[in-house]
Amino acid sequence: MGEDDNQEHRMDDFSPSDLKTILHSKRANLYYLQHCRVLVNGGRVEYVTDEGSKSRYWNIPIANTTSILLGTGTSITQAAMRELAKAGVLVGFCGGGGTPLFAANEVDVDVAWLTPQSEYRPTEYLQYWVRFWFDDVKRLDAARAFQQARLARIESLWTSRVMKDAGFSISTDHLHSALNHHREAINKAPSTVDLLTLEARLTKTLFKLAVNAVDYGDFTRAKRGTGTDPANRFLDHGNYLAYGLAATATWVLGIPHGLAVLHGKTRRGGLVFDVADLVKDAVILPQAFISAMRGDEEQEFRQACIERLTRTESLDFMIDTLKDVAQALGSGEA
């Protein structure tokens, strides 16, 4: 790490506040990296790939990045971690694109997140959150609110002109019927177990609609990365991008990842999965089938997901939903 450390002084002139001038919700970059080294070189955070006897250096614009997911075959230096923390970039460790660890059922897998500790996090929304979180009834209300927001997001994005132009011709009547049925069922659900059951049923329905929308053919959602068809692989891969944004959203508001409302209140990092669900079906699911039918490579699919998440302002939506739920249930007026 000698060369790495020798270059650090060039970034010491920047204060953490200088590097956080771009709001997280407006940052454009989300990285998933494999088989590379992340380090500081020439005063910049870069990742290095080895191609034969040559090494290629790629700049990471940290002030415009929300989070970085490090997959298999990666390493990161202490100097790089320090600069990422200064810029408020979350770093997550996960498995590789096609391995059971990375592609396992999302309810069973944790991403190990290293959140920046170099700045004081706000407590306003944490205070709202803990006021209702220990109340079983209000926590169930929060879970319902998340599910309703998820449905609204699906309805808005799946029926957009952009999706139709991309070849995703959804049956709007069938979609509206399914969503309206689940809206009523969510309001009547007596427990989080029932909500999780409803969530699983709706996802199955959405898979059927998506398959028909792109004329994919036979499809069965595989568990634990056992699927070999493109749609299954893309779904596994793309969901982790949603986890990256969700982890960023909760960190920005200062709400610990363990304070989940649906995916098990004692489950480590469960809130990340709750928040990721707000956009997974709305953005990742249709893109997986669109890319599969288009014959995209994994990198092309990943880039398409990142662009779609950015254009739909998914991080904004996550943050706003967290704020709305926190204020509605934790302000003392609910």
**Consecutive H or E run containing 47:** strand 44-51
Among candidate residues 145, 166, 146, 170, the one with its CA nearest the CA of residue 156: 170
Measured CA to CA in angstroms, residue 111 lies from 170, 215, 328 at distances of 33, 33, 29
Q: Is 263 annotated as a binding residue?
A: yes
Helix (H, G, I), strand (E, B) or coil at 58: strand
Planar angle of CA 155, 331, 194, nearest 5 degrees: 45
90-93 and 65-70 beta bridge pairing: parallel
**Consecutive H or E run containing 59:** strand 54-59
Distance in angstroms (rounded) separating the CA atoms of residues 303 and 102: 18
- Hey, what are 320's tokens? 């706003």
Query: Which residues, 6+ apart, have CB-to-CB distance to 305 below 8 Å?
Result: 238, 241, 283, 284, 287
Measured CA to CA in angstroms, residue 30 lies from 59, 141, 232 at distances of 13, 31, 21
HSE on the CB side for 144, CA within 13 Å?
A: 18
Distance in angstroms (rounded) separating the CA atoms of residues 26 and 180: 32
Residue numbers belonging to the annotated binding site: 199, 263, 277
Residue numbers belonging to the annotated binding site for Mn(2+): 199, 263, 277
